[in-house]
Amino acid sequence: MDAPGSFSGTCIVTEQLDAVLARFGETTAKWTDETTLESMRAGLDGIFTEYPMAAKTRYWPATGAVPGEWVEVDGVAADQVMLLIHGGGFSMGSARAHRSYASHLSAACGLRVLSIDYRLAPEHMFPSAHEDCLTAWNELLDDGVKPEKIVICGDSAGGGMALALSVKLRNMKAAQPACIVLVSPWADMTASGQSYHDPEILDPISSRDMALGMAATYLGEADPSDPAASPTHAKLHDLPAVIIVAGSREVFLDDARSIERSISAAGGKAILKIWPNMIHQFPLHVSALDEAEAAIHEIGFFVTERIG
């Protein structure tokens, strides 16, 4: 396999990324001070709901305490589950928007995906979303799924919550998942890493001010350096194997680097893949970016090695 980002069709890749960014721009350009949060949520979801699902995908509503969707392709292992925690700055995003992404993860990893709709801010403040992640995990166990047959996966804010969930389970001396998948994780609510300030990182999606604003909306009066909210501030020992996928053009990049360093220093297994010229959450654009498809295949290889 080629190294991440080493594609021969550079012009094609640039055209694909430009098209993705144009769709973002068309959506966000309509937002004004009078645009409601519901309209913003619908607009952001619309970017992703247009992407096609993997072949032979089925999906249906989840019926547990935490709403969401089950997504699977034909032929997956019935006893293997990915708990998928979407991103969106704690105030946006949905299982519906992640449906295409979930279907491709199901195909690449050979398992069922439970994509949850945790409670969003500002209607629900910290730690509501984190509590929903733990509830969803516990319900999988109650349904008879073995922890060693579960993968926890999250992107952006969902990546931070995925890591925080594993830390929570460790602190509870509870069973851990087979492995963890973090895509463009936002795991430091203080936004203190160098990448948040680096003028050479030309992030077309996010900024430090945006991150701090989203953190304030979810946290309220809570301490942003609380390890429960910012797992980069936690001790990351005795965790399952982790793969971290990030793009070089995102302000959250140092969160990914910090997670890898901390886990490795504690003697754990952490694989960090930084894809050149890629943006925040780029694997979600699997139907639009060649790199997204390649990254998901890489995630699939990592997962199947540990859960198969």
Name the active-site residue from 91, 280, 285, 298.
280
- Among the listed residues 69, 139, 250, 260, the single catalytic one is 250
The alpha helices in 155-241, defined as continuous H runs, are: 157-171, 208-219
250 is catalytic: yes
Which of 285, 293, 202, 283 is closest to 20 using CA atoms? 285
Q: Do residues 190 and 214 lie in contact, with contact meaning Cβ atoms separated by under 8 Å?
A: no
Query: SS3 breakdown of the chain: % helix, strand, coil, rounded to 5?
Result: 40, 15, 40
Strand 241-247 and strand 270-275: pairing? Answer: parallel
Q: How many CB atoms lie within 10 A of CB 205?
A: 20
Has 280 been annotated as catalytic? yes
Token readout for 6 is 């080493």
- Catalytic member of 91, 94, 156, 258: 156
Based on the residue annotation, tell me whether 124 is a catalytic residue of this protein: no
Q: What's the burial of 279, exposed, middle or buried (CB within 10 Å: 0-12/13-18/19+)?
A: buried
Say which DSSP state 46 is in: H
Q: Is residue 71 within 8 Å of residue 57, measured between CB atoms?
A: yes
The residues carrying an active-site annotation are 156, 250, 280
